[in-house]
Amino acid sequence: MPLREGQIGNVDPRICGGRLSIDVAALAANYRLLSSRAHPARVAGVVKANAYGLGLDVVAPVLWAEGCRIFFVALPQEGVTLRALLPEAEIYVLAGLFESQAAQIYGEAGLIPVLNDEADISIWEAYGWDGDDVSRPCAIHVDTGMNRLGLSGQQVKRFFHENKLTRALSPQLLMSHLACADEPSAPLNRQQLESFQIFDRLFSGIDSSLANSSGIFLGSDYAFDIVRPGIALYGGAPQAGIANPMRPVATVEARIVQVRHAKAGESVSYGAAQTLDRDTIIAVAGTGYADGLHRSLSGAGVPLRNALLSGGYGFIAGRRVPILGRVTMDLTLFDVTDLGAGAVSHGDWIELFGPNIAIDEAAAAAGTIPYELLTSLGARYHRRVVNRERRTNG
Smallest separation, CB 238 to ligand PLP (Å): 7
The smaller minimum CB distance to ligand PLP, of residues 168 and 231, is found at 231
Nearest to 100 by CA among 113, 91, 90: 113
The smaller minimum CB distance to ligand PLP, of residues 38 and 282, is found at 38
Q: Binding string to ligand PLP for residues 66 to 105, with x set by CB under 6 A, is what?
A: ----------------------------x-----------
Smallest separation, CB 324 to ligand PLP (Å): 33
Number of residues forming the site for ligand PLP (CB under 6 A): 12
The smaller minimum CB distance to ligand PLP, of residues 94 and 250, is found at 94
CB 168 within 8 A of CB 132: no
Q: For residues 174 and 159, what is the distance between their CA atoms, to the nearest angstrom?
A: 13
In the three-class reduction of DSSP (H, G, I as helix; E, B as strand; rest coil), residue 146 is classed as: coil
Between helix 24-38 and helix 56-65 the angle, nearest 10°, is: 50
Smallest separation, CB 383 to ligand PLP (Å): 21
Smallest separation, CB 228 to ligand PLP (Å): 4
CB 178 within 8 A of CB 189: yes
Q: For residues 61 and 105, what is the distance between their CA atoms, to the nearest angstrom?
A: 23
Q: Has 48 been annotated as catalytic?
A: yes
Single residue of 68, 93, 112, 231 touching ligand PLP by CB under 6 A: 231
Q: Has 381 been annotated as catalytic?
A: no
Q: Binding string to ligand PLP for residues 191 to 230, with x set by CB under 6 A, is what?
A: ---------------------xxx-------------xxx
Smallest separation, CB 353 to ligand PLP (Å): 17
Q: For residues 44 and 209, what is the distance between their CA atoms, to the nearest angstrom?
A: 10
Nearest position to ligand PLP, beta carbon = 230
Residue of 31, 48, 222, 234 with catalytic role: 48
Spell out where the chain has E strands. 6-8, 18-23, 42-43, 45-46, 70-73, 90-93, 111-115, 136-141, 169-175, 207-209, 226-227, 250-262, 267-268, 274-275, 280-285, 313-316, 319-324, 332-335, 349-353, 382-386
17 binds ligand PLP per the rule CB under 6 A? no
Radius of gyration of the chain (CA): 24
The residues carrying an active-site annotation are 48, 270
Residues within the interface to ligand PLP (CB under 6 A): 46, 48, 94, 177, 212-214, 228-232
